[in-house]
Structure 1
C-alpha cells in the first residue's frame, strides 16, 4: 500500500468539523473514538470510521488497533484546538506481522497529520489551484485536460492523404506537453469527423478540429464536441452571426475556439465587432500565396501562426506566437518524429521533467 492510498480516505478530514449532527450520525453508524490506549481518548474528540467493509479478522484488528491508534497519535501530537474531528478511512488487507503493522501505522499517521494540517491551513489556496490546474494528472485518468495554459505549443496540421500515412506519423510522435494535433480540413473532408477518434486512439493530448466553419456554426461545434475534439476552428470569412454562434457554442461545451484569419481583410474590425471573443487567433497565410501576410491585431487572445512555416523560422516565431502550426515540414518528412523533436526542443521542458511524486503538494 502506498502513502497516497492511505491519504485518499483521509483527505476530507475537515468536512464534519462544524456539523455536530453529522458527527453524531457518523459515530452512531460504525465510528469509534480514537484512543491512545483503552479508556484514554484523545482531545479534541476524534471519530474514526471505516468506509470499506471490515470483512476479515485482519482488517478488524488493524482498524481497532493500528489504524485508529495512528490517527489518535497524530491528533495528540498536533495539540489541536478544535471541537471534534471525523476521519473516514480505508482499511487495507495486509498480513498481521510487526513489519506490516509498522508500515500501516506510519502511513496513517503521516496521512492524518497531512490531512489535519491542510484543513487547518485551508489548503489548497485558490492561487495553488489556478497554478496547478493545467499540470494536474490524475492517476486514474491518465491524461491532462489542457486549456493551452503552458505555451508555446507545436500544432501539427495533419493534412495527410491516407490513414496509413496518418498512422505512420502518429506512431513516430514523441510525448510532450507542448504538442497539439490538428485534424486538418482535407483530412476531415475525406474521412469525416470520426478521424478525430482515430487520432485519439494513439494520442491522448489536445486535438483541434480544423473545420474552418463557414455556416451552421453551432451544429459544427457540437459535432466536433461529440467526436472528442478539444478545440474547433472557425473561418473569419463566415458571416458574423455564424462566428458568434460557433464561439458561443464552443464556450458552452468548454472547447477552445480558434478564429482563422485566412483572407480576412480587416482583422481588427472583425475582432472588435464580436461579442463572443475567440481564445486563439490564427494568423494564416494560404499555401497558394507567394509570401506570408503581415497582420496587426490587438486583443486578449493567444496568437497562432500558420502557413508555410519553415524550420529555420522557429526560433523567431516562438518569441511572437504561443502556437506554431506546422504541416508539410513534418507530415512530408521521412522522419516526422525527428522534425517534431527538433521543434519541441526549442519550446522548453515538459511539466514533469523535474517533478517528483507529491512534490507539488509540499
Structure 2
C-alpha cells in the first residue's frame, strides 16, 4: 500500500495509519504486540537514531535493541542516501514500532511528507526555521495520514520555540546538532536550550492539561550521565544515537538507558509526558 509515486491518488481511509495516542495500528500481523502496549510501561519513549550506515546495518541494529526502544528513526543520512526505500524497509521489518522519518523538511512540505507517510512512516520531521506556511502544511498532511509532526528546534531562538507551542498536536524536538557535538563539544544536558514547559503549572490533573501544550523530544549526544538533567524537562521522547549504536554491546547499552530513565522517573513527580 505504500508507494512513493506521487502521481498516485491519495490513500483511502482504510489504508491510512490510525494513531491511538502516538501508537499505530497496522493491518499487517495484527496478532503481534502493538506499539500502543508499551505506552503505560514507558511514558518516556526511547527513539533509536540510525544514521551513517546502510539500510541492512540499520535494520540489524534496530533488531538488536528493539526490546528497549519504542520509536525507530530512519535518519536524515539514510533518507538522503537511500531514499524512501529506507523508510519502507524499516517499517516492513518493524511493523509495530513507531517509525520516524527524519527528513528535516524546510519547504515543499506536502510532497515530502506524503513521500514519508506513504512509505510507512508514523512521524516525519520539519525544521522549526521553516516558514509558517510550511509548518501548517506539514500539520495538515500529517493529519490526513494519521501521522505525527516532529518540529526540530535546531538553531532557533527561544522566542521562535515559544511561538511554536501553538502546534499542540506536534512534538517539539530540542536538538544539539552532530556538528555542534563534534566541532564544539556540545551536548544536550550540558547546554542551555529553549525553555519549553510541558505542564500547566496551575493544575495537578494530567488529563486537564493533555494537549494544552505540544509534547517534547530531546536529541543531541545524550548519554547515561546527561539523562537526569534532560528528564527534568519531562520529554515524551528521548532520542539516542551513538550511545547505543557505537557501544560495544548495543543491546546492553539500550537496557542501561531504559533502566536509567526508569530510575530517574521513579523519583520524579508524574507529569505531562503527552504524545
Same fold (TM over 0.5): yes
> What's the CA shift for 1:286?
1.3
- The 2-side partners of 1:215 and 1:200 are apart by 25
Tell me the residue number matched to 2:48.
156
Change (3 A) 1:240 1:149: farther
Tell me the residue number matched to 2:244.
330
Tell me the residue number matched to 1:27.
none
**Number of aligned residues:** 216
Tell me the residue number matched to 1:235.
127
Alignment partner of 1:179 out of 67, 70, 87:
70
Gaps of 5+ in 1: 1-130, 350-362
**Alignment pair present for 1:280 and 2:171:** yes
Tell me the residue number matched to 2:98.
206
> Contact 2:23/2:98 (CA < 8 Å) preserved in 1?
no
Measured against aligned partners, the alpha-carbon deviations of 1:101-130 in whole angstroms (never above 9, x if no partner) come to xxxxxxxxxxxxxxxxxxxxxxxxxxxxxx
- The 2-side partners of 1:137 and 1:246 are apart by 22
> Contact 2:105/2:127 (CA < 8 Å) preserved in 1?
yes
Residue 296 of structure 1 aligns to a residue whose secondary structure is coil
Measured against aligned partners, the alpha-carbon deviations of 1:67-120 in whole angstroms (never above 9, x if no partner) come to xxxxxxxxxxxxxxxxxxxxxxxxxxxxxxxxxxxxxxxxxxxxxxxxxxxxxx
Gaps of 5+ in 2: 1-19, 199-212, 264-275
The alignment's TM-score, normalised by the length of structure 1, stands at 0.53
Q: How does 1:105-116 map to 2 (within 5 A)?
A: none
Q: How does 1:87-236 map to 2 (within 5 A)?
A: 140-144=30-34, 146=36, 150=40, 151-176=43-68, 179-204=70-95, 205-236=97-128
Measured against aligned partners, the alpha-carbon deviations of 1:208-251 in whole angstroms (never above 9, x if no partner) come to 11111001111111111101101111101111111111111112
Tell me the residue number matched to 2:3.
none
Alignment partner of 2:253 out of 330, 339, 343:
339
> Contact 1:260/1:284 (CA < 8 Å) preserved in 2?
yes
**Alignment pair present for 1:314 and 2:264:** no
Residue 172 of structure 1 aligns to a residue whose secondary structure is helix
Q: How does 1:2-81 map to 2 (within 5 A)?
A: none
Highest RCO, 1 vs 2 (Cα 8 Å, sep ≥ 6): 2
> What's the CA shift for 1:200?
2.1
Change (3 A) 1:135 1:181: closer
Change (3 A) 1:134 1:183: closer
> What is the root-mean-square deviation in Å for CA atoms of aligned residues?
3.1
Change (3 A) 1:238 1:140: closer
- The 2-side partners of 1:148 and 1:244 are apart by 30
Tell me the residue number matched to 2:160.
267
> What's the CA shift for 1:199?
1.4
> What's the CA shift for 1:173?
1.7
Tell me the residue number matched to 1:118.
none
Change (3 A) 1:140 1:258: closer
Measured against aligned partners, the alpha-carbon deviations of 1:36-55 in whole angstroms (never above 9, x if no partner) come to xxxxxxxxxxxxxxxxxxxx
Change (3 A) 1:337 1:255: same
> Contact 2:161/2:194 (CA < 8 Å) preserved in 1?
no
> Contact 1:268/1:298 (CA < 8 Å) preserved in 2?
no
- The 1-side partners of 2:62 and 2:24 are apart by 23
Give the structure with higher Rg (CA).
Answer: 1
Residue 47 of structure 2 aligns to a residue whose secondary structure is strand
> What's the CA shift for 1:155?
0.6
Residue 138 of structure 2 aligns to a residue whose secondary structure is helix
